[in-house]
Amino acid sequence: MRQSFKQQIITLSSATGLAQAITLLFSPILTHLYTPEDFGVFSIFTTTSAFLALLWTMRYELAIPLQKKRVHSLALIASTLGLAITFSLLLFLLLTLFSLSAASEKLGIAPLFLFLLPLSAFLYSIVQLFERLASRDHNIKLIAKSKLSRSATTALLSILFAWLGGLGLIAAAICGLLLSSSILASNELKNVLKAAKLTTRRRATVLFKRYKQFPQYDLPSSVLYFFSSQGFILLLVFCFDPIVAGYYALAERLVASPISIFTNSYATIFYVRLTEKYKNIKTSINDDVKQNTILFLSYSILPFLLALYALEYILGYIFGPTWSELYLYILALSPALFVTVVAAPSSPVLRIIGRQDISFKLHLIHLTIKVGVLAITALYLQVSPLLCLVWVSLASFLVISVNILIIFKLIGISSYKVFFLMIFFIVAVIVMQFSHGIII
């Protein structure tokens, strides 16, 4: 029996929440077993893997929910998997043939770790594709099972592999991805292989051309968004060192994980719902986007600020003296992390209405401003990593807030309530940052 929209949200949110809770509960143990540098190396590896998977699928997974017939979705998965396999083999060949010292030095990770990138990126690709298929089929329980298994496996193996140092975190993450991809794809493997046999090279080309707007517009936009969010850690390594990257990674995990418990689940299901509604009546999505944006903002400001205040008094006891600056990093990053909550309902709009070109421009502006602020503060002014992150976070908050208002205007929505609530939040955070001496 198919679940209702609210039931799907609750199911996936609960599973995602439990998965994130597992990660958070194990974090104090891991911070006593691994150093900030280990976390930095791990974050660099996983970020690079996720970026490669983004390139290899070319965002064709977003077209899976658009297929009216399931067989067409399977054909698209088979064709996209072919791309991912080809790129994985090419990368492994390149790593074998060429010297890895330069790349290893740039990324701050050992040459041995680089050989694990093709496998990790391919597993990421499988998870992306089959999560979209499960979402299209409204099989939310399967996605939930996959997320829980991945989180629990990664957490447990991270403890068992601690003697390996940074490699222990990487090995555990790959095992978690392997289990997750197996759960999602095992029941569909025969169907995908059958679809692959029926999908000729010509038919695959036709499929790719039909949805060329995804690699043409959505992929560049997603790449820009990736570097302005997850990929930003690579820029931090270039400007500072893996230790700063480690603090940044854990701070972002501790704040972003509770936020994403609901927003990621919501975005997965809301995208399908808005797509289905937009097919019937193009203006039918306006009220949904506006009401949910106000709802997210209204119910998240006070809990977020209270949690931010309380963290100062508990982090030191939980994570130990090695991570003494962790709270200051969380405080510095809080504006950029919070605004992702507000942006969740409006984030799929441009893709649904076929305006990926605008999405690309907005992400380009965001990345340009973010990198520009980082370059000016870190390389030219040479301020501390914390102050640098404060300015970058404030810039992101401003840009994303403007992007939300632009999307509202594009689909004919106006809401002053969103604007005033955002002003209230950012003033409160700046006062907290000033009181802790981050902003002088």
From first to last of its 440 residues, what are the pLDDT tens digits of the chain?
555 555 666 666 666 667 777 877 888 888 888 888 888 888 888 888 999 999 999 888 888 887 778 888 888 888 899 899 999 999 988 888 876 666 566 555 667 778 889 999 999 999 999 988 888 887 888 888 898 899 899 999 999 999 888 889 999 999 999 999 999 988 888 888 888 887 777 878 888 888 888 888 788 878 877 877 777 888 888 888 888 888 988 888 787 766 666 666 666 667 667 777 776 665 567 777 777 788 778 888 888 899 888 888 888 778 877 787 889 999 999 998 888 878 877 777 777 777 777 877 887 888 889 889 999 999 888 888 999 999 999 999 999 988 888 888 877 777 778 888 889 999 999 999 898 888 76
Same domain flag for 200 and 257: no
H or E element that contains 225: helix 219-228
Q: Please check whether residue 220 is in contact with residue 358, taking contact to mean a CB–CB distance below 8 angstroms.
A: no
Closest CA to 268 of 16, 48, 50: 16
Last residue of a domain, one of 211, 241, 257: 211
Say if residue 209 is exposed, middle or buried (CB neighbours under 10 Å; 0-12, 13-18, 19+).
Answer: exposed
Same domain flag for 245 and 157: no
H or E element that contains 187: none
Residue-wise over 367-382: b if at least 16 C-beta within 10 A, else e? Answer: bebbbebbeebbeeee
CA 30 to chain centre: 22
Q: Please count the structural domains in the chain.
A: 2
Closest CA to 359 of 207, 247, 228: 228
- Report the amino acid identity of residue 251: A
Write out the two tokens for 222: 């997603």
Each residue's pLDDT tens digit, 70-95: 888 888 888 899 899 999 999 988 88
Domain that holds residue 99: 1-211
Same domain flag for 3 and 125: yes
Last residue of a domain, one of 186, 211, 236: 211
Same domain flag for 264 and 348: yes
Same domain flag for 259 and 191: no
pLDDT at 300: 83
Same domain flag for 193 and 341: no
Residue-wise over 416-430: b if at least 16 C-beta within 10 A, else e? Answer: eebeebbeebbebbe
The pTM score is 0.74
Same domain flag for 240 and 349: yes
Same domain flag for 292 and 415: yes
Torsion sign over Cα 229, 356, 362, 300: negative
Same domain flag for 198 and 341: no
Write out the two tokens for 267: 């975005």
How many helices (H) and strands (E) are present in the chain, helices listed first?
Answer: 20, 0
Same domain flag for 89 and 225: no
> What is the Cα–Cα distance from 272 to 275, expressed in whole angstroms?
5
pLDDT at 193: 84
Last residue of a domain, one of 211, 239, 266: 211
Same domain flag for 405 and 310: yes
- DSSP single-letter state for residue 378: I
Same domain flag for 258 and 333: yes
CA 17 to chain centre: 15
> What is the Cα–Cα distance from 42 to 333, expressed in whole angstroms?
20
